[in-house]
Structure 1
Amino acid sequence: MSKMLRRSFLKKSAVAGMFMGISAKSYNATFAAEAPSERVRVGMIGVGNQGGPRNNMNYFINNIEAMCDLDTHFLTEAAAYLDKKAGRSAVMTDDYRRLLDSKELDAVVVTVPDQWHALMTIEACQAGKDVYCEKPLTLVIGEGRPMIQAARKHKRVVQTGSMQRSGLEFELVTNLVQSGAIGKVKEVNVTLPGPNWIDHAKSSVPDSSPPSGFDFDRWLGPAPARPYNKNRVHYLFRFYWDYSGGQQTNFGAHHLDIAQWGLGMDDSGPISVEGTAVYNPNGWYETPDQTVMKYQYANGVTMNCRQTPGTQSNKQGTEFIGEKGSVFVWRGGLVASSPEILKSVEVPKPLVHTGSVVTLPDAEKRYANIAHVQNFIDCVKTRETPAADISIGHRSATVCHLGNIAVRSGKKINWDPQTETIVGDADGAKWLTKDYRAPYSLS
């Protein structure tokens, strides 16, 4: 965003009193309080849904010093939860730049619609803040490199919220595949769920005025201007191209990420992808109901990715098929084609190993989330590279985006993972970037 626009926002927030529900005296006292030397002080940008009390707030609860959201309902709910859970308050604002400008915060958690990820992450790095940015890291492939460059230039720790990278069952399957337990990998199958738009929206509704207390124009940010519709915002943003990429970039950012990890492709990717899609017959949302995609890697591995409505949670995941057998991993466990495959590695606790099956006890179902956030906090202190470094998040998001480009364009996409370009298709290359609404700019 331009310096002029930044000054405009800060001027607006100062005049309008954007720090809601807290006096200037309380604000200064909150941020002036000396923090323990080992405590990483965090500002939450976005506290609804994934960023709210049922998700990220829980995992950062002991580090939260400030919270930001454009919906006063979410801010009120988050403040009440912080008081109940931790017995304290935080600075509340609807202008994230206040958090970036504070010298009393070490890091920010970016949990907002995807169209904002690049701008907020880059600005946070420029402001000297470490960043935990939710997945998918980008809205389009072309945003990834500028984000990485900002992180490296300003020496920032940036963790992508692909928390399966910290899940024991996923680490185990990666060890199995890379150790050769299933032999040379020939094929990978990734299964994604269908969209859950209808679970939340029920049916279509007409456009309307935004509700009081929700700044819809700033919520849109760099996305195209359009009338407010309650079925396009908050969780439902995931199913509209202006803000996200459907389940391909939602669950795909998890399960395709594990495929990349297992194949040792964290600094590379496929060389081609083609596919087809089926869309909602009523046009209630834009992203696909079903997809079938075929990726090809230079080492000969074929990866099939399918989005299938009605797929049970324990059938959503990543399967590696090798010359000696196969292994399938989902959130909660993995199953090998034979018990012999699991004898080659040590199964860590609290995973439970029985024959060819490994499961994570229900009591540990949040293990990956907790471990992933702790990994970020630890890396902020040590300055080490986090489990899902921004470069990994970019490469995994790229795989997701390439699949969407293939089904939207109706073409086979040939990809050069070294130069990160679409080969021999000038029209296809246009999908790599997206115009930002003025006056927003990535530069």
Structure 2
Amino acid sequence: MSNEEQPATPVSRRTFMSTAATAAGFTIVPRHVLGGVGFQAPSDKVNVAVVGYIHGMGTSNLLNVIKSDNIVALCDLDESAAAKEALKRRGTLEKLPKAVQYKDYRVMLDKQKDIDAVLVATPDHWHALIAMASMQLGKHVYVQKPLTRTISEARALTEAARKYKVVTQMGNQGHSEEGLRLMQEWLEAGAIGSVREVHCWTNRPIWPQGMPRPTETQTAPDGLDWDMWLGPAPMRPFHKTYHPFGWRAWQDFGAGAMGDMGCHVLDAAFTILKLGAPTSVISTLAYNFLPPVPGERGFGKRVEYNDSYPPSSLIHLSFPERGAMPPVKLHWYDGGLLPERPEDLEPDRTMPESGTIFVGDKGKMWCETYSESPRLIPETAMQAFQRPPRSLPRVPEGRAGHEKNWLDAIRQKGQAVSSFDYAGPFTEAVLLGNVSLRYPGQRLLWDAPTMKVTNLPETDQFIQHKYRGSWSLT
């Protein structure tokens, strides 16, 4: 075979879950000695509770779970007219007539004892608290990306998953994508040589970002418990720019463009290059002025991004050698910024809205957002490439089977492909990019074991989680 795909190595679901893959990010951890707090041998179907199922990805996660397993509980604090309309439009509750509904995840975990696993699809500022409470009770957890809002939370969840011996998964569904495995195999076959530079970009933000905090006071919709929605975040008045969609723009609630899409777009680089922790990061802001005032000359007022994330950013992460693999410079672009178009990319080929370009010493390789559609650049190199046999285990259904991969791991006492052992350190690196946005133009030197920026101690306030009132991870 020249440039045709070679047949895939047949891998049964049980073999997939019990075989140790060679690539970083594909490690399968045996659980034959599993017996953590509250653990029960799973039945044929896993009983799942979904927290945050009305808005955003929660509905998609829920629909994927019910293809094979049970939804026994639903938790969301929004009972507003808009939330009820969303449920009606999607027909969510009609599909789950036996699921018990809750407004407070603590009440749910205390009352309902048949829950085996919890899926968290809330705004980012809630991820760590709900996941931690669930793991402490021996519940398996699936948490939407980014895993957490702060670096210290990501570290805490990684350590807790090991302590409580539960099956975990982050919701970066591209990690189950076929293309991710193809690129790993191609790289190991020498398709582009050693990689020292990677460019990653996204079309986010697709929500308003880079603006001052609202000053007008609005009344929260009837049925929305605003104090509970804020939870561990600092108190502020309700405003429609925060809920239900715009919270990603605000540093108290979300993780901006990089947090939203970095755990998708950067996934291929972290996995196939085995990147681990960066040694330094430096960023620039593309725009930090408000629009000019009509009738006045020059730019508008300068904006300090201490509340909302900037509208555009460019972030550079440096990674050290990993065994025989050379150091890597990774460049992140968002808000309309793009890397330079490769000179050897054919004129009629369009760069995707989000994607990754790997620059090797023998060629280039790219993929789109979720590691799909991988190709060598130029296309003549792709056509001439002798593709290696498929050697890595595949996830059935690819990224559409990401939730099922987690559920199968629970049943078969394995570990999911994007477990917290991978997703936790990965999220830490992504969130370090956000820390750098607080200090544009300054190179931050990172010591991962201590979670410290060694040359700028004041960054610690943005690395450690701080919660309002009595909220706590312990």
- TM-score for both structures, normalised by structure 2: 0.75
Aligned to 2:278: 270
Amino acid at match of 1:295: L
- Pick closer, same or farther for the CA change 1:82–1:428 going to 2, 3 Å: closer
- Pick closer, same or farther for the CA change 1:94–1:429 going to 2, 3 Å: same
Give per-residue Cα distances to partners, 1:365-385, cap 9 Å, x unaligned: x95442111110011112212
Q: Helix, strand or coil: the match of 1:243? A: coil
- Pick closer, same or farther for the CA change 1:119–1:50 going to 2, 3 Å: same
**1:432 equivalenced with 2:463 (yes/no):** yes
Amino acid at match of 1:130: H
Amino acid at match of 2:428: T
Moved more, 131-140 or 386-395: 386-395
Q: Distance in 1 between matches of 2:337 and 2:282?
A: 23
1:395 to 425, 429, 433: 425
Q: Distance in 2 between matches of 1:272 and 1:186?
A: 15
2:128 to 99, 106, 118: 118
**Identity of counterpart residues, as a percentage?**
29
- Pick closer, same or farther for the CA change 1:341–1:307 going to 2, 3 Å: farther
**1:92 equivalenced with 2:92 (yes/no):** no
Q: Distance in 1 between matches of 2:402 and 2:366?
A: 22
Question: Unaligned 5+ residue runs, structure 1?
Answer: 1-35, 352-365
Aligned to 2:148: 138
Amino acid at match of 2:201: T
Q: Distance in 1 between matches of 2:190 and 2:45?
A: 41
Amino acid at match of 1:112: T
Q: Distance in 2 between matches of 1:333 and 1:239?
A: 29
Q: CA RMSD in A?
A: 2.9
Aligned to 1:65: 72
Q: Which protein, 1 or 2, shows the higher relative CO under an 8 Å CA cutoff with sep ≥ 6?
A: 2
- Pick closer, same or farther for the CA change 1:139–1:175 going to 2, 3 Å: same
Aligned to 1:46: 52
Q: Distance in 2 between matches of 1:100 and 1:341?
A: 56
- Pick closer, same or farther for the CA change 1:313–1:209 going to 2, 3 Å: farther
- Pick closer, same or farther for the CA change 1:402–1:310 going to 2, 3 Å: closer
Conserved 8 A contact 2:203-2:353? no
How many residues align? The count is 387
Amino acid at match of 1:322: G
- TM-score for both structures, normalised by structure 1: 0.80
**1:290 equivalenced with 2:312 (yes/no):** yes
Aligned to 1:321: 359
**1:105 equivalenced with 2:115 (yes/no):** yes
Moved more, 246-255 or 96-105: 96-105
Give the helix-richer structure, 1 or 2: 1
Moved more, 312-321 or 109-118: 312-321
Conserved 8 A contact 1:280-1:286? no
What aligned pairs does 1:254-403 form with structure 2 within 5 A after superposition?
A: 254-265=264-275, 268-277=276-285, 278-279=287-288, 281=290, 286-299=308-321, 300-309=327-336, 314-331=352-369, 332-337=372-377, 338-339=381-382, 342-346=385-389, 367-403=397-433
Amino acid at match of 1:96: Y
Displacement of 1:58 after TM fit?
Answer: 1.6
Conserved 8 A contact 1:194-1:289? no
Amino acid at match of 2:360: G
Conserved 8 A contact 1:47-1:75? no
Conserved 8 A contact 2:444-2:455? no
- Pick closer, same or farther for the CA change 1:146–1:135 going to 2, 3 Å: same
